[in-house]
Amino acid sequence: MSDICIRLAQLSDRDQLVRMREALWPKSSADEHTLELALILEGKAPVTMPLIILVAEASDRALAGFLEIDLRSHADGCNPSRPVGYIEGWYVAENHRHMGIGRKLLAVAEDWARSQGCVEMASDTWVDNEVSQRVHKALGYEVVDRCVHYRKTL
């Protein structure tokens, strides 16, 4: 892992990030990811709070993973009087897993959140994503709520 550098994503990372975002969020198309990333990386995303993307870059310039973080005004289980650092997306390529890259991305994200005045960090995952749940728990996160969403076609 010593050859992994954690840094802010750049526009030149877009194509690699699109592929990783497709793996994490397959319901969105490559075109949707491309457009959204262009806005984020050019600083033109329509958000009211900062959103940054951290990438883990290997010595061959290939990206091994990413973490998207922003600030939320509140998050379940967190103090509502302060903004919260929030993990919006977190992905490590399968061939780079179990090497501490996810931990390293998270540590930099937590430092960024602290620099924004946050005293808490929050995240979420799907109820069936047991790998993500294990990783969160191993890195000191605790479950604060479980929710089941419903819909009905009318």
Smallest Cα–Cα separation from 106: which of 121, 96, 93? 121
The pLDDT score that the predictor gives to residue 3 is 87
The pLDDT score that the predictor gives to residue 131 is 87
Residue type (1 letter), 47: V
pLDDT of residue 72: 83
Which pLDDT tens digit goes with each residue over 66-122? Answer: 999 998 887 877 888 888 999 999 999 999 999 999 999 999 999 999 999 999 999
> In this structure, which topology does domain 5-138 adopt according to CATH?
Aminopeptidase (3.40.630)
pLDDT at 21 over 70: yes
The two three-digit tokens of residue 78, written as one number: 């967190």
Mark out the alpha helices in 48-141 (DSSP H runs). 101-115, 130-138
Q: Which helix (H) or strand (E) holds 21?
A: helix 14-24
Cα–Cα dist 59/54, whole Å: 16
Can you give the residue ranges of every domain in the chain? Answer: 5-138
Nearest to 53 by CA among 109, 118, 115: 109
Identify the residue with better confidence: 40 or 109: 109
pLDDT, the chain, mean: 89
Structure-token pair, residue 67: 């973490």
Residue 122, strand partner residues: 86
